[in-house]
Amino acid sequence: MDTNIKILIVDDFATMRKVIRNLLKQGGYDNIVEAEDGVMALSELKANKIDFVISDWNMPNMTGLELLKAVRADGDLSKTPFLMVTAEALQNNVVQAVKAGVDNYIVKPFTADVLNEKITEILAKYKGG
């Protein structure tokens, strides 16, 4: 498994970013960048090569769904693996995200194992397809 991939964590809550960062580290991923909202994430995506996006749904300025749509609509970025983090109250949004082309979603709270499993699964698919 390539744990060197550059992962972008998008969440407005710094503590949450740290939580995800810690979980990723448990899976051996430590090439991690962070963004506070969709707008910042998008400019990060455009500026640097990002191999994987883990985004929260609910953020100011630009939500995770809007970010996802923007990524999928951008020719250069459209093939970026995208994992959406969501909470149970917003589960109905999952369907919207799926339609917008999300690769998978993960429900808070989750463990390092679940997170890494999902990442591996998504990456395998990108490699295969």
52-56 and 82-86 strand pairing: parallel
- Please identify, among the stretches 2-10, 16-24, 25-33, 47-55, the one whose residues bind another protein according to the rule CB under 8 A: 16-24
How many C-beta atoms surround the C-beta of residue 60 within 10 A?
A: 10
Per-residue CA distances from 96 to 9, 20, 65, 93, 120 (Å): 20, 23, 8, 5, 23
The residue count for binding another protein (CB under 8 A) is 40
> Could you give the string, one character per residue 25-54, with x where binding to another protein holds by CB under 8 A and - elsewhere?
------------------------------
Of 10, 24, 90, 119, the one binding another protein by CB under 8 A: 90
Nearest to another protein of 45, 86 (CB atom): 86
Name which of 67, 71, 5, 1 is nearest 32 in CA terms. Answer: 5
Binding residues vs another protein (CB under 8 A):
11-16, 18-19, 22, 56, 58-61, 87-92, 94-96, 98-105, 107-111, 113-114, 121, 125
